[in-house]
Structure 1
Amino acid sequence: MIHELRIYHCLPGRLPKLLERFERHTLRIWERHGIRQAGFWTVAIGPSNHALYYLLAWQDLAERTRLWEAFRADPEWQQVMAESEKDGPILSHVENMILQPTAFSSVR
């Protein structure tokens, strides 16, 4: 099992639109494709409150590639993304990292 940490840095004032997109659409589409989320966080105290942090759980990199590509190509997702950005982009940039558990990690 591997985890992917994704950080979506929003343009000022656009985080609510991103959260709405996840809650109303993205998670349902992920479920259809078999994408497993391990948690979502926003920043209560820290350098920026314009970001969404989340973890995805993958069996391996091959599963990640296969499922993520299918999700990105999904016509419903493409329509949802276009509709949510009709008033302008939501994100300034995205960071993602593939995490490997240490030998002493409680999460494997």
Structure 2
Amino acid sequence: MIVDLRTYTMVPGRLKAFLELYESEGLPIQRQHLGEPIGYFTVETGPQNQVVHLWGYESAADRERRRSAMESDPAWIAYRRKSAEAGNVQHQENKLLRSVPFSPL
């Protein structure tokens, strides 16, 4: 299993706006292509104004296939444009995690 761990740091004061736009417009498109996320969180302690989410894939090839389909979806392209214009995200970091044999996932 591959887990895509994504951390987005928001412009201070823009977290709520990001979550509202994402929940109403971005998440439905991602669910269509990627399925349900493993988890979607806001940071309570440590660096503030962050959203952390995890997506699971069978393999790197599975991730590439699903994300490529999503990236070519006109609805996703429109959402990304709208999200960028809103100016909510300050920084993004992605990590691909590979499960070890004794991992419960």
**TM beyond 0.5:** yes
Find the residue that maps to 2:12 and give its secondary structure. Answer: coil
Partner of residue 92, structure 1: 90
Deviation at 1:13, TM superposition (A): 1.5
Alignment check: 8 A CA contact 1:39 1:55 kept: yes
Deviation at 1:79, TM superposition (A): 1.6
Root-mean-square deviation (CA, aligned residues, Å) is 1.7
Deviation at 1:74, TM superposition (A): 1.4
Partner of residue 7, structure 2: 7
Which of structure 1's runs of 4+ aligned residues deviate more than 6 A?
A: none
Alignment check: 8 A CA contact 1:8 1:52 kept: yes
- In structure 2, C-alpha distance between the alignment counterparts of 1:34 and 1:45, rounded to whole Å: 28
Partner of residue 50, structure 1: 49
Identical aligned residues as a percent: 32
The number of aligned residues is 105
* Partner deviation per Cα, 1:55-96 (whole Å, 9 max, x = no partner): 000011111111112212211122223234434x22112111
Deviation at 1:3, TM superposition (A): 0.8
Alignment check: 8 A CA contact 2:2 2:58 kept: yes
- Unaligned stretches of 5+ in structure 1? none
- In structure 2, C-alpha distance between the alignment counterparts of 1:94 and 1:86, rounded to whole Å: 16
Alignment check: 8 A CA contact 2:8 2:50 kept: yes
Structure 2 length as normaliser, TM-score? 0.86
Partner of residue 103, structure 1: 101
Query: Greater CA deviation, 96-105 or 57-66?
Result: 96-105
Alignment check: 8 A CA contact 1:9 1:91 kept: yes
